[in-house]
Structures are given as C-alpha cells and as structure tokens.
Amino acid sequence: LLITVLAACGNSGAESSSGEGESASGDSGEAKTIKAGIGLNSDHPQYKGLLKFKEIVEEKTDGAIKVDTYHSGQLGDDRSMTEALQLGTQEVVIPSTAPLANFVPEFSVFDIPFLFPNEQVADEVLDGEVGQELLGKLEEQNLVGLSYWENGFRDLTNSERAVASIDDFDGLKIRTMENDLHLDAFKALGANPTPMAFTELFTAMQQGTVDGQENPYATIYLQKFYEVQDHVSNTHHIYSPFVFLMSKSFYDGLTEDQQKIVKDAAVEAGKHERKLNREANEKYLKQLQEEGMEYTEISDEARQEMVDAVAPVIEDYKSKIGEETVDKVYQAIEDAQK
Ligand code: KDG
C-alpha cells in the first residue's frame, strides 16, 4: 500500500515540472538547442539547406528544438567539428565524405576518382541500400548520419598554368582534402599535393603556399577563389557528397517523434540543397570566366589518360576501403544506369 501511495504522490508531483507543459512533439520541458556548423560560407547552397533544416525542425517541433547555424568554419573545420559531435559539444555538422573516411574508412569509396557518371546516379547510390548502409557504420563512431547532401563534381583551379592534360599537373602544388586516397591520386597525376582543412585554403592560395585546389564551380565562385586563382579546368575527377551528421548522444536523447522530425528534415532540406547546388554549378562556370578566370576544357582523350594514371591507386585502395563496399557501390552504379 505504501508503495502505491508513494507512486501516486510521484505522479501528482507535476507542480515540480517547468510548467511549460507538453509540446506538440510530445516532449516536455526546456527547448533543446542544435548547434550546427559548416565550412562553406553563407552564400553557398549548403548554408541555404541548413536554414531550410532549421525552418522545418523549429516549425515541426513547435520550438521544442531550436537550431543555431554557423557557417564559414566559425565552429571549426570538418574534422574538428566531427570530433566535437563525438564529444557532445556540437550537435550537427555537414562534412564532405572525404575527411569522414578518417572516422569510417569505407566512406573512401566515394573518393575513387571518376566513380559516378552523373548526379542522378550518385543520388540513387547514396540514397539507396549501400549508401544508407554506410551511414549506419557511423554509429560505432558515436555519430548518426541522417542524409546525403552534395558539393558535387570537383574541378581543378590553379594560379600557375592552364591544365589541359595530365602533363600539365607536373609539380603543381595542389591542396587536397584531408584524405589519403585524394593525396595518392594527385601524386599519381604528377602533382605535388598537400592535405589541408578547407578553413585554411583561401589564405594558402593567397600566400602561394599552394598553387591550386579542386572544388565544384559553385564553391569556387561563392568562396571567391577567382580572386586568387587564374585557371579552371573541368576535370570533374571526383563527385563529393556531404553527409548530414548528428551527435549520437544528442540524437539518442530526443523523443522518437523528434528523431523522426530531424531525420525527415535532413532528407528534405538535402533535396532542396541538391537542387540549389545543381543550379549553381550550372551557372557559375560562366561567371568565373567573367571574373577573369581562363577556362580549359579537358578532352575525352585527356581525361582517359587521367583515368589510366589513377587506376593503380584505386586498385591499391580497394582492400583499405573494404572490397565488399567497393563491389557493392560498383554494382549499385551499374544498376542505377539500367
Ligand atoms: O562545409 C563543407 C566544407 O567544410 C568542406 O567539406 C568543403 O569540399 C570541401 C573541401 O574542399 O574541403
């Protein structure tokens, strides 16, 4: 009887709660805050996508979850922000898959040069079984992968010379993302690559520490790289996805309703981001030329030489990435083109 009475008292102790009552999303008490950071600036579609995520989440949770957004590496670079998620001091980051491979090696499958033929195939593979399976592997790293977004096909810029063929890479100091496969692929092309966080890149180009870098047109234009780079070539050598990451400890602390809301919002905002990004990548090559950059087209023949040069590197990395993952991705690419 005593137990029953105590339990009843416990249930009636509602006065002790904050008095805010239940929110529409089923949670009670104080609002939770998501600190979300990215490396790109506020003009980039990635940030527009993040604002979309904020809008959806704040509306659907009736303010029970608040999203604070930070761009331009204000909270750090891809790697340090991902580590902050693991520590639980930051809740969201949207890094490229390339630096994520330092946490889950299988993500390097997307660093295989000349892997995807176009964005539509990339979407199918990433949003399909193998892409989602890879997101699942993040859990062991205390991370939750909610969806894929896009940076896109990467193209080479530099301040030294027009790059039309593999010979033109000779000795070029190229910044790569912090990823071993990128590094070795650029070495195989004859360049002199240096891995570096995105947050340090502009200054490195400005000061001549590196001659060039590679990113999609939208990023090159919106980050104003044309101010410090003279040449651009459509190498299109790697398709870069972003992963929308959430800290696992934060995610686990959400109600089931809230987990669904953040997951769906990351997917929906990602669709919006991909759309904006594709429009941007289409229009900014022209603008780069208007800003004074010289554009060099890579012929099919010249691109094939690049494909051949990196083939041994890919072979070498298959076991490091995991043969099973590599095979599944190749199969998914084939299926997507049927
Ligand atoms: O917000 C994303 C950036 O931090 C970074 O991932 C962009 O592709 C990128 C790069 O070159 O580092």
Distances (CA, A) of 237 to 180, 233, 240: 15, 10, 10
For ligand 1, whether the C-beta of 113 sits within 6 Å is no
For ligand 1, whether the C-beta of 39 sits within 6 Å is yes
Query: Which ligand 1 atom lies nearest to the CA of residue 213?
Result: 11
Query: Which ligand 1 atom lies nearest to the CA of residue 78?
Result: 4
* Residue 102 to residue 79: CA distance in whole angstroms: 9
Of 42, 46, 96, best ligand 1 pocket probe by most atoms within 8 Å of the beta carbon: 96
**Cβ atoms 262, 250 nearer than 8 A:** no
For ligand 1, whether the C-beta of 148 sits within 6 Å is no
At position 290, the amino acid (one-letter code) is: E
Query: Which ligand 1 atom lies nearest to the CA of residue 73?
Result: 4
pLDDT of res. 79: 98
Question: First and final CA of the chain: distance in angstroms?
Answer: 69
Query: Rounded to the nearest whole angstrom, what is the distance from the C-alpha of residue 1 to the centroid of ligand 1?
Result: 63
Query: Rounded to the nearest whole angstrom, what is the distance from the C-alpha of residue 40 to the centroid of ligand 1?
Result: 6
Of 43, 47, 48, 78, best ligand 1 pocket probe by most atoms within 8 Å of the beta carbon: 78
- In 3D, which of 201, 256, 162 has the Cα closest to residue 73? 201
For ligand 1, whether the C-beta of 152 sits within 6 Å is no
For ligand 1, whether the C-beta of 37 sits within 6 Å is no
Q: Give the SS3 label for residue 192.
A: strand
For ligand 1, whether the C-beta of 180 sits within 6 Å is no
SS3 content of the chain, % helix, strand, coil (to 5): 55, 15, 30
**Cβ atoms 232, 219 nearer than 8 A:** no
For ligand 1, whether the C-beta of 78 sits within 6 Å is yes
Q: What is the pLDDT along the chain (338 residues), one digit of tens a residue?
A: 344 434 333 333 333 333 344 444 444 568 999 999 999 999 999 999 999 999 999 999 999 999 999 999 999 999 999 999 999 999 999 999 999 999 999 999 999 999 999 999 999 999 999 999 999 999 999 999 999 999 999 999 999 999 999 999 999 999 999 999 999 999 999 999 999 999 999 999 999 999 999 999 999 999 999 999 999 999 999 999 999 999 999 999 999 999 999 999 999 999 999 999 999 999 999 999 999 999 999 999 999 999 999 999 999 999 999 999 999 999 999 999 99
For ligand 1, whether the C-beta of 57 sits within 6 Å is no
pLDDT of res. 30: 84
Query: Rounded to the nearest whole angstrom, what is the distance from the C-alpha of residue 124 to the centroid of ligand 1?
Result: 22
Of 155, 177, 210, best ligand 1 pocket probe by most atoms within 8 Å of the beta carbon: 177
pLDDT of res. 23: 45
Which ipTM was obtained for this model? 0.98
> Token digits for 282?
């289409």
**Cβ atoms 199, 136 nearer than 8 A:** no
Query: Rounded to the nearest whole angstrom, what is the distance from the C-alpha of residue 259 to the centroid of ligand 1?
Result: 26
Q: Is the dihedral of CA 58, 60, 63, 66 positive or negative?
A: negative
* Residue 7 to residue 193: CA distance in whole angstroms: 66
Query: Which ligand 1 atom lies nearest to the CA of residue 93?
Result: 1
> What domains can you pick out in the chain, each with its CATH number?
31-336 (3.40.190.170)
